[in-house]
Copies of this chain bind each other. A is one copy, B any other.
Amino acid sequence: MLEETFGDTVKKLREDRKLPLREVAEALKIDTSMLGKIEKNSRKPTKHIIGKFATFFEVSDKDLTIAFLSDAVAFRVMEEEDFSSEVFKVAEEKVKYLKTKKLLDK
């Protein structure tokens, strides 16, 4: 699951099963071109589509979601000069902090 983009991941799942884009797209009820773009990371799948991928390919929805989200944040951070390790480290602390805070607010 590591080291590739989300697009690479789903493309590999499809190719392992020797299916053309058209067939998978039909199964997921999305446009073939859309699927092609998702595999090329030029369109983002919705949460719903990620769920369909998981069901169709019989893989973990959670793992696919992690693959997708990590892509999103990786690309976001790479747009800027690279402070990525620091950014992720601080971000993780923020998430922890903000979650606790949210709980306390109740």
Contact = CB atoms under 8 A, between A and B. Distances in A.
Range for the number of chain A residues in contact with chain B: 35 or more
A3 B87 contact: no
Contacts of A92: 74, 84-85, 88
State the main secondary structure of chain A at its contact with B: helix
Nearest to A84: B95
Interface string A63-106: 00111011111101110111111111011111101110000000
Contacts of A97: 2-4
A47 B79 CA distance: 11
Interface of A: 1-5, 47, 62, 65-67, 69-74, 76-78, 80-88, 90-95, 97-99
